[in-house]
A = this chain, B = another copy of it.
């Protein structure tokens, strides 16, 4: 996620110069041709093109933003549920009983391992060093043999809570309440996997890009008759506006795409790590900050 309100000039220049140059060169070319070897430019129905294009781009920008924001909401729900999990675990079990304190630490660490495993899975990263940091060897083995590793961590957490109930640390009412939190966690995970595995339908990826480009190509031809020498300016600005809307859609449509426009998953995993470690009295690392204006 890009943090500053006004993005760095370098980032903008880097992202924009290529389409801008292509657009401008084409617009100049059309204008030059028009004046050098005069042709009768047709009065293309640009308003009709524009309103059809607006339908595509308006829909696409809105739904891209909704996907991005839903990704953020789901990670927010994961933060909330992780805190509720740790609050229930630490409150429900009585520290004065043997074995409760280490069990609490294990369960809370498993939840930290879980969110890191989920982040790595969403970013399609095979290596996830935090997993080994918070899970012991036998727990790692349990997880490694499953296709969906975060889900394996959650299943194991559920079994350990059931064991605690059988010992008598919890009764089934408290177990049922914690299970309700695990369901919230599973629902958030499922929602993230949905966003990751189901891109915007192909039609909304392909046609807006195609039609925006056709529109930019036709724009100077349709304008040169009335704009004359001002065609490159007018046509480039108009084209740039439509290309910007198209680009925003591309940037936001996949909130877990492992690029600078991502929902800041690493930072949110760190937030969970801090909250949960502090809730059992352990030392916690510092929050993640932005790197070159980007929070990962």
Contacts and interface: CB of A to CB of B under 8 A. Distances in A.
Interface string A189-221: 111011000110111111100010010001000
A162 B248 contact: no
A206 B6 contact: yes
A92 B162 contact: yes
Nearest to A229: B42
Nearest to A187: B80
B80 A186 contact: yes
Interface residues of A, number: 117
Interface stretch (A109-117, A128-136, A166-174): A166-174
Given A173-B176, A174-B176, A159 B91 contact: yes
A55 B46 contact: no
A248 B201 contact: yes
A127 to B, nearest CB: 21
B80 A155 contact: no
Contact of A48 (B46, B171, B261): B46
In the A-B complex, the 6 residue pairs with the closest CB atoms: A42-B230, A80-B190, A52-B241, A91-B162, A91-B158, A76-B194
Interface of A: 1-7, 40, 42-59, 61-63, 65, 68, 72-73, 76-77, 79-80, 83-84, 86-88, 90-92, 94, 145-148, 151-152, 154-155, 158-159, 161-162, 166, 171-177, 179-183, 186-187, 189-191, 193-194, 198-199, 201-207, 211, 214, 218, 223, 226-230, 234-235, 237-238, 241-242, 244-245, 247-248, 251-252, 261, 263-264, 274-275, 278-279, 284, 287
23 contacts: A1-B198, A1-B201, A40-B228, A42-B229, A44-B230, A45-B46, A49-B241, A51-B54, A59-B61, A68-B201, A83-B186, A91-B155, A94-B162, A147-B275, A148-B275, A148-B278, A151-B279, A171-B172, A177-B179, A180-B180, A203-B244, A211-B241, A214-B237
